[in-house]
Structure 1
Amino acid sequence: MANFVMYAAIMLIAGIGIPIMATLNGGLGTRLQSPALAAAILLFVGMVLAVTYLLVTEGVPKTLYPPNTPVYLYLGGFFVLFYILTITWVAPRFGVSNAIAFVLLGQLIAMSLIDHFGLFGAHKFTLNLQRLAGLGLMVLGVFLVLNKVPQINSSGS
């Protein structure tokens, strides 16, 4: 239970960081008039920090490609870059809450498929009725916090 609370707290903090990062990098992209340059700067700063953390905590790695490592495991960098570029460009135009809400929807869809089918070596968690109900409530919650939710006309027209 202690690990669950610790992991949940760490991921909650990471989740808080995502819209902060989107707002900061969107602002940087707007000021630089280049979402691509802002994304490159963000990724450069992240790489410097990640390499520093690696060297301090683990030292120099013995290898970057251990035997029998599937190449697809290295594609996470593509998804990081795609996210950084798109959120940097879209958030200032669409609004941070709208952009992140659709990111959350994408995460809900992807996590469900990854868990259900055990994709990429993940543990399998079957999509049962309880999980589907929870996902439905989460999707509803995401739509309720959007800035541009269609208004329902009570007069029926």
Structure 2
Amino acid sequence: MPTSSYAFVMLCAGIGIPILAALNAALGSRIGSPVAASVMLFMVAFTCSLAVFFIGGFKPTSSIAEAPKHLFLAGVLIAFYVLSITFIAPKFGLGNAVFFILLGQLISAAAIDHFGLFGAQISPLSAARAGGIAMMAFGVYLTQLA
């Protein structure tokens, strides 16, 4: 798959994050339970993932049991994201919530890349990247002034 295809898929995923947040926050408000909305979201996500798993011809593997246990904390992080955005977006505003999520993603991604954490390819924090993160932080600040 060419790099441009990867970029397009990630762009689509990025477009989907605020939509996911808005839909789940609205569901949580409508049914009166952000936690129940999050549970439903995970049930749908699990069903979709399972379908892709079987349609794609993937086979269960014993290497899952051998994987370092800390890698499974990603599940805790996705639950934290979904629960927090579902609770907070209706009160804080979807745009505000997503702006701060994006800022957190930039900071975290820069640190992970800089130190090569979790097996990531090392990409040292350059002045340009640091400047971009600072500009983003300033942009988040500007959004809070209005």
**Cα offset, 1:123, TM superposition:** 1.0
One-letter amino acid of the structure 1 residue matched with residue 145 of structure 2: V
- 1:88-99 correspondence runs (5 A): 88-99=86-97
Q: Identify unmatched segments of 5+ residues in structure 2.
A: none
Partner in structure 2 of residue 25 of structure 1 = 24
Partner in structure 2 of residue 154 of structure 1 = none
**Cα offset, 1:64, TM superposition:** 6.0
- Structure with bigger helix share is 2
Match of 2:79 among 58, 69, 81: 81
**Cα offset, 1:136, TM superposition:** 2.0
> For residues 44 and 9 of structure 1, what CA distance do their matches in structure 2 show?
27
Q: Is the 8 A contact 1:39 1:84 kept in 2?
A: yes
Q: Identify unmatched segments of 5+ residues in structure 1.
A: 151-157
Match of 1:70 among 68, 73, 76: 68
One-letter amino acid of the structure 2 residue matched with residue 127 of structure 1: L
> For residues 103 and 90 of structure 2, what CA distance do their matches in structure 1 show?
19
**Cα offset, 1:62, TM superposition:** 2.8
Partner in structure 2 of residue 52 of structure 1 = 51
TM-score of the two chains, using structure 1 as the length reference: 0.86
Match of 1:113 among 86, 101, 111: 111
Pair 116,59 (structure 1): closer, same or farther in 2 beyond 3 Å: closer
Structure having the higher Rg: 1
Q: Is the 8 A contact 1:104 1:142 kept in 2?
A: no
One-letter amino acid of the structure 2 residue matched with residue 37 of structure 1: A
**Is 1:40 aligned to residue 39 of structure 2?**
yes
State the number of aligned residues. Answer: 146
TM-score of the two chains, using structure 2 as the length reference: 0.92
Q: CA RMSD for the aligned pairs?
A: 1.6
**Is 1:103 aligned to residue 86 of structure 2?**
no
Q: Is the 8 A contact 1:105 1:139 kept in 2?
A: yes
One-letter amino acid of the structure 2 residue matched with residue 141 of structure 1: G
- Give me the identity figure in percent: 42
Which string of whole-angstrom CA distances, capped at 9 and with x for unpartnered residues, describes residues 25-69 of structure 1? 0000001111100000000000000001101102431336253x2
**Cα offset, 1:121, TM superposition:** 1.1
Partner in structure 2 of residue 125 of structure 1 = 123
Which string of whole-angstrom CA distances, capped at 9 and with x for unpartnered residues, describes residues 74-113 of structure 1? 1111111000000000001111000000101110111111
Task: Give 3-state SS (helix, strand or coil) of 1:123's partner.
Answer: coil
Pair 47,64 (structure 1): closer, same or farther in 2 beyond 3 Å: farther
> For residues 24 and 65 of structure 2, what CA distance do their matches in structure 1 show?
34
Q: Is the 8 A contact 2:103 2:133 kept in 1?
A: no
